[in-house]
Structure 1
Amino acid sequence: MAFGKGCHLHLIDGSAFIFRAYHALPPLTRKSDGLPIGAVSGFCNMLQRYVEGNVGSDVTHVAVIFDKGSHTFRNELYDQYKANRDAMPEDLRPQIPLTREATRAFNIACEEIEGFEADDIIATLARQAREAGGACTIISSDKDLMQLVGDGVVMMDAMKGNRVIDSEGVEEKFGVGPKQVVDVQALAGDSVDNVPGAPGIGIKTAALLINEYGTLEELLDRAEEIKQPRRRQTLIEHREQIELSKKLVTLDENMELPFTLDDLEAKDPDPEELLAFLTEMEFRTIVKRISDKLGVEPPAIEAAAPAAADPAPEMPPFDAERYEWVKDAAALQVWLDRIYERGYVAVDTETTGLNEMRADLVGVSLCVEPGQACYIPLTHKGGAADDLFGDDSLAEGQMPLNAALDLLRPMLEDPSILKIGQNMKYDAKIFARNGIALAPIDDTMLMSYAMNAGLHNHGMDQLSERYLGHNPIEIKSLLGTGKSAKTFDRVPVEDAVKYASEDADITLRLWQTFKPQLHRKRVTTVYETLERPLVPVLAKMEMSGIKVDRDTLSRMSNAFSQKMAALEDELYELAGGKFNVGSPAQVGEILFDKMGLEGGKKGKTGKYSTGADILEDLATLHDFPGRVLDWRQLSKLKSTYTDALQTHINAETGRVHTCYSITGANTGRLSSTEPNLQNIPIRTEEGRRIREAFIAEEGKVLVALDYSQIELRILAHIAQIDALKQAFRDGLDIHAMTASEMFNVPLDEMTPEVRRQAKAINFGVIYGISGFGLARNLRIPRDEAQGFIDRYFERFPGIRKYMDETIAFAKEHGRVETLFGRRINTPEINAKGPGAGFAKRAAINAPIQGTAADVIRRAMIRMDDAIRDLPARMLLQVHDELVFEVDKAAADDLIGVAREVMEGAAHPAVRFDVPLVVDAGIGDTWAEAH
Structure 2
Amino acid sequence: MASNHLYLVDGSSYIFRAYHRLPPLTNTRGEPVGAVYGFTTMLWKLVEELNRDESPTHLAVILDASSKTFRNDLYDKYKAHRPPPPEDLVPQFPIIRQAVRAFSVPCIEEMGLEADDIIACYAEAALKQGWQVTIVSSDKDLMQLIQPGLDLLDTMNNRRIDRDYVIEKFGVPPEQLGEVLALMGDSVDNVPGVPGVGPKTASELIRTYGSLEAVLAAAPEIKKPKLRENLIAHADNARLSRELVRLVCDSPLPEPLDDLKLKGIPPEPLKAFLADQGFRSLLTKLGGDIPPPPAAPEPSEADDPPFNHDDYVCVTDEATLDSWIAEGFSAGVIAVDTETDSVDATRAALVGVSLATAPGRACYIPIGHGGDGLLSEAPKQLPRDLVLAKLRPLLEDEATLKIGHNLKYDLIVLRRAGVDVTPYDDTMLLSYALDAGRNGHGMDELCNLHLKHCPVAFKDVCGTGKSQITFDKAPLDRATCYAAEDADVTLRLWRRLKPRLAREGLARVYEMVDRPLVPVIAETERAGIKVDREELARLSGDYAREIMRLEGEIHALAGRPFTIGSPKQLGEVLYGQMGLAGGKKGKTGAHSTDVNELERLAAEGAPIARLVLDWRQLSKLKSTYTDALQTQINPETDRVHTSFSLAVAQTGRLSSTDPNLQNIPIRTELGRRIRDAFVAEPGHVILAADYSQIELRIAAHMADVPALKQAFADGADIHNLTAQELFGEVNRDTRGRAKTINFAILYGISAFGLAGRLGCDRGEAQAIIDRYFDRFPGIRNYIAETLNGARETGYVTTLFGRRTHFPNLTSKNMNERMGSERAAINAPIQGTSADIIKRAMTRMIPALAAAGLDGTRMLLQVHDELVFEVPEADVDRASTVIRTVMEGAAEPAISLSVPLGVGIGTGASWGAAH
* Change over 3 Å in CA distance of 1:790–1:627 after alignment to 2: farther
What are the residue-to-residue correspondences of 1:817-832 with 2, within 5 Å? 817-832=797-812
| AA of the residue aligned to 1:828 | N
Instruction: Tell me the CA shift for residue 323 of structure 1.
Output: 1.1
Looking at structure 2, the residues matched to 578 and 787 of structure 1 have their Cα atoms a distance apart, in angstroms, of: 47
2:328 to 339, 351, 355: 339
Looking at structure 1, the residues matched to 639 and 806 of structure 2 have their Cα atoms a distance apart, in angstroms, of: 39
Deviations 1:83-118 (A, max 9, x none): xxxxxxxxxxxxxxxxxxxxxxxxxxxxxxxxxxxx
Aligned counterpart, 1:352: 341
Looking at structure 2, the residues matched to 819 and 678 of structure 1 have their Cα atoms a distance apart, in angstroms, of: 25
What are the residue-to-residue correspondences of 1:207-286 with 2, within 5 Å? none
SS in 1 for 2:603: coil
1:603 to 582, 586, 608: 586
What are the residue-to-residue correspondences of 1:17-28 with 2, within 5 Å? none
Is residue 709 from structure 1 mapped to residue 698 from structure 2 by the alignment? no
Deviations 1:253-295 (A, max 9, x none): xxxxxxxxxxxxxxxxxxxxxxxxxxxxxxxxxxxxxxxxxxx
Aligned counterpart, 1:176: none
Looking at structure 1, the residues matched to 532 and 397 of structure 2 have their Cα atoms a distance apart, in angstroms, of: 40
| AA of the residue aligned to 1:366 | L
1:692 to 655, 664, 676: 676
Deviations 1:847-901 (A, max 9, x none): 0000000000110010010011202010000010000001001011111001000
Looking at structure 2, the residues matched to 372 and 525 of structure 1 have their Cα atoms a distance apart, in angstroms, of: 31
SS in 2 for 1:927: coil
Gaps of 5+ in 1: 1-304
Looking at structure 2, the residues matched to 676 and 783 of structure 1 have their Cα atoms a distance apart, in angstroms, of: 39
8 Å CA contact 2:564, 2:570 repeated in 1:
yes
Is residue 565 from structure 1 mapped to residue 545 from structure 2 by the alignment? no
Looking at structure 1, the residues matched to 577 and 770 of structure 2 have their Cα atoms a distance apart, in angstroms, of: 38
Is residue 476 from structure 1 mapped to residue 459 from structure 2 by the alignment? yes
Is residue 860 from structure 1 mapped to residue 841 from structure 2 by the alignment? yes
Normalised by the length of structure 2, the TM-score is 0.66
Looking at structure 1, the residues matched to 351 and 662 of structure 2 have their Cα atoms a distance apart, in angstroms, of: 32
Is residue 427 from structure 1 mapped to residue 410 from structure 2 by the alignment? yes
Aligned counterpart, 2:58: none
Is residue 760 from structure 1 mapped to residue 765 from structure 2 by the alignment? no
Aligned counterpart, 1:406: 389
What are the residue-to-residue correspondences of 1:903-918 with 2, within 5 Å? 903-918=887-902
Aligned counterpart, 1:550: 533
Is residue 310 from structure 1 mapped to residue 288 from structure 2 by the alignment? no
Is residue 842 from structure 1 mapped to residue 830 from structure 2 by the alignment? no
Instruction: Tell me the CA shift for residue 375 of structure 1.
Output: 1.0
What are the residue-to-residue correspondences of 1:29-108 with 2, within 5 Å? none
| AA of the residue aligned to 1:581 | I
2:600 to 603, 608, 617: 617
| AA of the residue aligned to 1:312 | S
8 Å CA contact 1:810, 1:816 repeated in 2:
yes
Looking at structure 2, the residues matched to 732 and 536 of structure 1 have their Cα atoms a distance apart, in angstroms, of: 38
Instruction: Tell me the CA shift for residue 437 of structure 1.
Output: 1.2
Looking at structure 2, the residues matched to 787 and 589 of structure 1 have their Cα atoms a distance apart, in angstroms, of: 40
8 Å CA contact 1:617, 1:776 repeated in 2:
no
Looking at structure 1, the residues matched to 715 and 437 of structure 2 have their Cα atoms a distance apart, in angstroms, of: 36
1:718 to 685, 693, 702: 702
SS in 2 for 1:619: helix
Looking at structure 2, the residues matched to 739 and 561 of structure 1 have their Cα atoms a distance apart, in angstroms, of: 41
8 Å CA contact 1:585, 1:609 repeated in 2:
no
8 Å CA contact 2:299, 2:495 repeated in 1:
no
Looking at structure 1, the residues matched to 297 and 597 of structure 2 have their Cα atoms a distance apart, in angstroms, of: 53
Instruction: Tell me the CA shift for residue 778 of structure 1.
Output: 4.2
Instruction: Tell me the CA shift for residue 784 of structure 1.
Output: 4.4
| AA of the residue aligned to 1:880 | D
| AA of the residue aligned to 2:696 | L
8 Å CA contact 2:584, 2:592 repeated in 1:
yes
Looking at structure 2, the residues matched to 351 and 726 of structure 1 have their Cα atoms a distance apart, in angstroms, of: 54
What are the residue-to-residue correspondences of 1:738-753 with 2, within 5 Å? 738-745=722-729, 747=730, 750=731, 752-753=732-733
Q: How many equivalent residue pairs? A: 616
* Change over 3 Å in CA distance of 1:831–1:689 after alignment to 2: same
Instruction: Tell me the CA shift for residue 518 of structure 1.
Output: 0.8
| AA of the residue aligned to 1:316 | P
Deviations 1:300-338 (A, max 9, x none): xxxxx9778635361111111111121111111111111
Instruction: Tell me the CA shift for residue 574 of structure 1.
Output: 4.3
Instruction: Tell me the CA shift for residue 604 of structure 1.
Output: 4.3
Q: Percent identity?
A: 55
Aligned counterpart, 2:862: 878
Looking at structure 1, the residues matched to 613 and 740 of structure 2 have their Cα atoms a distance apart, in angstroms, of: 19
Gaps of 5+ in 2: 1-292
Is residue 512 from structure 1 mapped to residue 498 from structure 2 by the alignment? no
Looking at structure 2, the residues matched to 776 and 620 of structure 1 have their Cα atoms a distance apart, in angstroms, of: 11
2:663 to 672, 676, 679: 679
Is residue 488 from structure 1 mapped to residue 471 from structure 2 by the alignment? yes
Looking at structure 2, the residues matched to 718 and 589 of structure 1 have their Cα atoms a distance apart, in angstroms, of: 50
| AA of the residue aligned to 1:437 | D
Is residue 378 from structure 1 mapped to residue 360 from structure 2 by the alignment? no
| AA of the residue aligned to 2:846 | D
8 Å CA contact 2:582, 2:591 repeated in 1:
no
| AA of the residue aligned to 2:779 | I
8 Å CA contact 1:620, 1:779 repeated in 2:
no
SS in 2 for 1:911: coil
Aligned counterpart, 2:198: none
8 Å CA contact 1:548, 1:695 repeated in 2:
yes
Looking at structure 1, the residues matched to 452 and 562 of structure 2 have their Cα atoms a distance apart, in angstroms, of: 55
Instruction: Tell me the CA shift for residue 841 of structure 1.
Output: 0.5
Is residue 804 from structure 1 mapped to residue 787 from structure 2 by the alignment? no
Instruction: Tell me the CA shift for residue 774 of structure 1.
Output: 3.3
Instruction: Tell me the CA shift for residue 410 of structure 1.
Output: 1.5
2:753 to 758, 770, 773: 773
| AA of the residue aligned to 1:335 | W
Deviations 1:504-555 (A, max 9, x none): 1111111111111110111111111111110000000000000000111111
Is residue 320 from structure 1 mapped to residue 309 from structure 2 by the alignment? yes
Looking at structure 2, the residues matched to 306 and 740 of structure 1 have their Cα atoms a distance apart, in angstroms, of: 60
Aligned counterpart, 2:648: 664
8 Å CA contact 2:858, 2:868 repeated in 1:
yes
| AA of the residue aligned to 1:332 | L
Is residue 794 from structure 1 mapped to residue 778 from structure 2 by the alignment? no
1:528 to 511, 524, 530: 511
* Change over 3 Å in CA distance of 1:585–1:358 after alignment to 2: same
Instruction: Tell me the CA shift for residue 356 of structure 1.
Output: 1.0
8 Å CA contact 2:787, 2:824 repeated in 1:
yes
Looking at structure 1, the residues matched to 817 and 582 of structure 2 have their Cα atoms a distance apart, in angstroms, of: 24
| AA of the residue aligned to 1:444 | T
Looking at structure 2, the residues matched to 486 and 755 of structure 1 have their Cα atoms a distance apart, in angstroms, of: 57
8 Å CA contact 2:726, 2:772 repeated in 1:
yes
Instruction: Tell me the CA shift for residue 596 of structure 1.
Output: 3.5
| AA of the residue aligned to 1:531 | D
8 Å CA contact 2:352, 2:364 repeated in 1:
yes
| AA of the residue aligned to 2:298 | D
Looking at structure 2, the residues matched to 555 and 769 of structure 1 have their Cα atoms a distance apart, in angstroms, of: 41
RMSD: 1.9
8 Å CA contact 1:381, 1:391 repeated in 2:
no
Aligned counterpart, 2:215: none
Looking at structure 1, the residues matched to 314 and 871 of structure 2 have their Cα atoms a distance apart, in angstroms, of: 49
Looking at structure 1, the residues matched to 444 and 563 of structure 2 have their Cα atoms a distance apart, in angstroms, of: 43
* Change over 3 Å in CA distance of 1:620–1:846 after alignment to 2: same
